[in-house]
Structure 1
Amino acid sequence: MKVLMVDVDGVLVHGRPSDGLHYCTDLERDLGLRRDLIEQEFFRTPHWGDIVTGRDDLEPRLASVLAKIAPGLSAATLIDYWFENDSGLDRTLLTDLAALRATGIPMFLATNQEHRRAAYLMDNLGLSSYFDGIFYSAMLGYQKPASEFFRLATERVGIEPSEIAFIDDYPANIEAARQFGWKAMHWAPGSRLEDALATFSL
């Protein structure tokens, strides 16, 4: 292993900082917007696919949807609420990753994100202090588990696929990474970095 790639949601980030629950848990109480409605009208439509692969911008597209389903709610308010309530960091994993990075292993985030949240993760949450960079879907133009995501990330680090290790919580992403040649481990609740490292060394 010459480089470690780490997924974000479900690995490093787990919902609300206060309790780990989904950021939409109190969405209707706090902003008057039903979770099922925003999921149906925004996240489960081609709108989100275009945004998360960099073909459309988050705020104006979200604003157009909210104008129909929640006219009194601004896109900026919802985005702020989303990012702030979907930022619970796994501090134990971050500590373990920092110790590994101190040995000279470069580390990158490898995640499906649109531009705004990718910047929030690196700048506002301070993940730029723990990682050498981020590869994300809106930057690359492809989402995991598309093979193009792994190909482009591999090209940018400039090493062989077999020299890249990867942890992710989504089985399809793990399978796609392995098919491309990365050493990949499925991250589940209770997983430990030391276990992943032992797997990668086999």
Structure 2
Amino acid sequence: MIRNIIFDFGCVLVDLDKQRCVEAFRKIGAESISAYVDECRQEDLFHDLETGKTGIGEFCDEVRRKAPACTADNDTICNAWNSLLGGIPKRRIEKLVSLKERYRLFVLSNTNPIHWKKAADEYFPMDGMNVDNYFEKVFLSYRMHLIKPDTEIFIRTLAEAGIKAEETLFIDDSAANCRAAATLGISTMHVTCGDEWLDKI
């Protein structure tokens, strides 16, 4: 019996536009950073931001260090990075509202403070509700200093949420993340696009 659903953020709730982000970094002279995005590389500055090892200011400094031609200020760099996010369609928000009547809902995401603030401020709010109205708790890599597919992040999420693995469904666009969750007895749903899960629950 599934009683809890844990959602990934990127490609499950929010749409992503990699090419728009690549172009945004190129426009501000950060060609080497655009290559990270284009190749979906998560090491170095992006990994450190997602695990909370560095903050937003340090991230922006590192962008300018790795791309000397980039003289953009912090806000401009953050806007370029946020151009990866394509928004959350209303139909997904409405689905969350209906699911909350039957399940306990959570988010577990490898994300960073730049993307999460953008989503919390602009994408989740609807009809007077915000992210806290849809989910009991959000578990974010940069706050937990852990990153999927490390099983420790799932163990902590289950413990802090007070839920059982065998009563939980985890939805993610990464097969590796789903495999890691499954080793703990969590049911998983591997999806490849944001709408794929809508008719499966």
SS of 1:194's equivalent in the other structure is coil
Deviates further, 58-67 or 104-113:
58-67
Residue aligning to 2:13? 12
SS of 1:180's equivalent in the other structure is coil
- The answer to whether the 8 A contact 2:165-2:186 is kept is yes
Residue aligning to 2:175? 171
SS of 1:167's equivalent in the other structure is strand
Shift in CA distance, 122/76, structure 1 to aligned 2, threshold 3 Å: same
The 5 Å alignment of 1:114-133 reads: 114-126=112-124, 128=131, 129-133=133-137
- The answer to whether the 8 A contact 1:12-1:93 is kept is yes
110, 113, 128: which one aligns with 1:112? 110
- C-alpha displacement of 1:118: 2.4
> In the aligned structure 2, how far is the partner of 1:152 from the partner of 1:49?
20
Residue aligning to 1:187? 191
Residue aligning to 2:127? none
> In the aligned structure 1, how far is the partner of 2:20 from the partner of 2:110?
17
Identity %: 23
- The answer to whether the 8 A contact 1:54-1:141 is kept is yes
Residue aligning to 2:94? 95
Which string of whole-angstrom CA distances, capped at 9 and with x for unpartnered residues, describes residues 99-158 of structure 1?
111x24221111001233323322332251432321011122210110011001001111
> In the aligned structure 2, how far is the partner of 1:28 from the partner of 1:84?
9
- Alignment-mate amino acid for residue 193 of structure 1: L
Number of residues of Structure 1 aligned to a counterpart in Structure 2: 190
- The answer to whether the 8 A contact 1:166-1:184 is kept is yes
- The answer to whether the 8 A contact 1:11-1:187 is kept is yes
TM-score normalised over the length of structure 2: 0.81
Residue aligning to 2:85? 86
SS of 1:172's equivalent in the other structure is helix
Does residue 1:54 correspond to 2:52, yes or no?
yes
Unpaired stretches in structure 1, ≥5 consecutive residues: 198-202
> In the aligned structure 2, how far is the partner of 1:153 from the partner of 1:73?
37
Aligned CA-pair RMSD: 2.6
- C-alpha displacement of 1:160: 1.2
